[in-house]
Amino acid sequence: MSIFVPEPTSERGRGDAKRHRDKQKEVLKENLPKVIAEESIITGGQGKVKIPIRRLSIPDFRPGKSDGGDVGVGQGDGAEGEILGKRPGKGKPGQAGEEPGEDYIDTEIEIAEILELMFEDLGLPSLEEKQVKELVVELGWKIRGTSKSGPWPLLNTKRTVQEGMKRFWFLFEALKSETGIGELICFSALKKADGIFSEALLLLQNAVLLPIETEVVPFPILHTDDLRFHNIQPDVQYQSQAVVIAMMDVSGSMSQEKKYLARSMLFWLVRFLEKIYEKVVIRFIIHHTNAKNVEEDVFFKTGESGGTYCYTAYELAGSLIDTEYPPAQWNVYAWHFSDGEDFSTDRTVEELKKLFARKINMFGYGELRVGETWRLLHSLSDSELFTAFSKAFAVEKTEVDGVRVMTGTDEPLLGIVITRKEHIFPAIKQFLKKDRWMTHA
């Protein structure tokens, strides 16, 4: 007789939990474009975020009644596929009903887990933490070890004297062993011969003519092989750090919805960079007719009336790079969010060229045109900035998932037109291409 051993309850529980987690991942992956644009994620800033997941329905079978008696039992008059009975719903069409709707539950998801799902969905490798790019910072020169040759200014006198003392004791012991004469006489001969072994032997043949020393006082005997020089090497430091310089137009034409989209993009760009760099710093610059450095809360809440001069933000960004974040020590990512209006595109282009001359990793331009559909965008001419950039630099223009994209062929330039929050994910896809964040190593 066979014996059946039931699966332990704990094992079944772990299996059920894994299946539930896998189901959650499937739902998340299917809805990534919506999930990453959720305001609860953008404004939360925590390691975990809550995502609404539809509760799984569990079938509940129970006997039912209809006006015509019992249904669903035995053979009746109905044909195959015919609806035999339907329970009338409560309420009228167009009005709120009394029946319960679908249930949703909140589940906590690690932001790191969402990032991994993004990498998987985008076909990117699972990144080792902080592996992507280390900068070699030259700090000067440092002394490490010694060598038997080198310039005289680098002579290591201490090590050279040590080698000379070793040679003295070697020759002193050799004289005593070869001649069988006492210490003081051998020492006197070696000293009189200035450390030359052959001359010391000649002197010992007529020891009576030697002035005898009263004690043995060793002294260094130096040959060319005894010279030691400092060995110098470049002093370098390996750093893995990045700075994101976020610039945004805060003139009257920039609505709160546009600022929300800018915040969404920045949130995910910074999260990605934190995955691959030891240290990520973000600096905020706002501009209208003038530009200034601000804190994060001011960056997203400020609104000003008046015109727009984008070059002022680029000038300030260049100053920050020069004084605090030199590209020799920092990976620099500059992002500018605007609705495309600019009163001085020529000066803006000139300042952007200066940023590229500083060898920054990437310049991203996010154009926020909320409410304008892709079909409408096709019928409109490009914005002032989009047009200026495409004329000043060699670029390729494409459409990806309904998002207009401008990519520099000679410079690390990425321009994206965003009209609604569903465009955040396609926009991030463009940034995550390896040739973007590995540019200008």
Based on the fold, state whether residues 249 and 375 are members of the same structural domain: yes
**294 plus 350 within the same structural domain:** yes
On whether both 282 and 203 belong to a single domain, the answer is no
Reply yes or no on whether the pLDDT at 37 is more than 60: yes
Give yes or no: residues 279 and 224 share one domain. Answer: no
- The residue-averaged pLDDT of 387-399 equals 93
What H or E segment, with its residue span, contains residue 29?
helix 9-30
Domain that holds residue 50: 8-55+106-126
291 shares a domain with 430: yes
Verify that 215 and 114 share a domain, yes or no.
no
386, 268: one domain: yes
Q: What is the mean pLDDT of residues 367-396?
A: 76
Residue ranges with strand state E in 201-354:
229-239, 241-249, 279-287, 291-294, 331-338
Structure confidence at residue 116 (pLDDT):
74
Q: Contact at 8 Å (CB) between 149 and 247? A: no
Q: Which has more pLDDT, 437 or 409?
A: 409
Enumerate the H helices of 234-310 as residue ranges. Answer: 256-276, 296-301
* 195 and 152 housed in the same domain: yes
| pLDDT over 60 at 225, yes or no | yes
DSSP 58: -
Cβ–Cβ < 8 Å for 439, 362: yes
Residues 225 and 276 in one domain: no
Model pLDDT, residue 111: 74
- Clarify whether residues 182 and 320 are in a common domain: no
- Condensed to tens digits (0 to 9), the pLDDT of residues 247-288 reads 999 887 777 788 778 877 888 888 888 877 888 889 999 998
Q: Which of 68, 93, 126 is the last residue of a domain?
A: 126
| Tens-place pLDDT, residues 140-171 | 677 778 888 888 888 888 999 999 999 999 99
Higher pLDDT, 9 or 348: 348
Q: Could you give the percent of the chain with pLDDT greater than 70? A: 67
CA dihedral 391, 285, 426, 432 (to 10 degrees): 90
Query: Residue 416 to residues 244, 294, 355, 403: CA-CA distances in angstroms?
Result: 17, 24, 19, 7
Mark which of 190, 216, 232 sits at the end of a domain: 232
Same domain, 203 and 336: no
Strands annotated E in 95-228: 104-110, 135-147
φ, ψ for residue 194, nearest 5 deg: 55, 35
A 10 A CB-CB count for 243 gives: 24
Q: Which of 53-67, 253-267, 282-296, 313-327 has the highest mean pLDDT?
A: 313-327
- Determine the Cα–Cα distance for residues 272 and 425; give it in Å rounded to an integer: 13
In this structure, the answer to whether residues 320 and 266 fall within a common structural domain is: yes
Residue from 390, 401, 407, 406 nearest 424 by CA: 401
CB atoms within 10 A of CB 226: 18
Task: Please tell me the total count of domains within the chain.
Answer: 3
Q: Is residue 135 assigned to a domain? A: no
Which parts of 111-250 are beta strand (E)? Answer: 135-147, 229-239, 241-249
Q: Which of 225-229, 326-330, 370-374 has the lowest mean pLDDT?
A: 370-374
- Does residue 352 surpass a pLDDT of 60? yes
The residues near 379 (Cβ < 8 Å, ≥ 6 apart) are none
**How many angstroms separate the CA atoms of 370 and 384, rounded?**
17
**E strand or H helix at 417:** strand 413-418
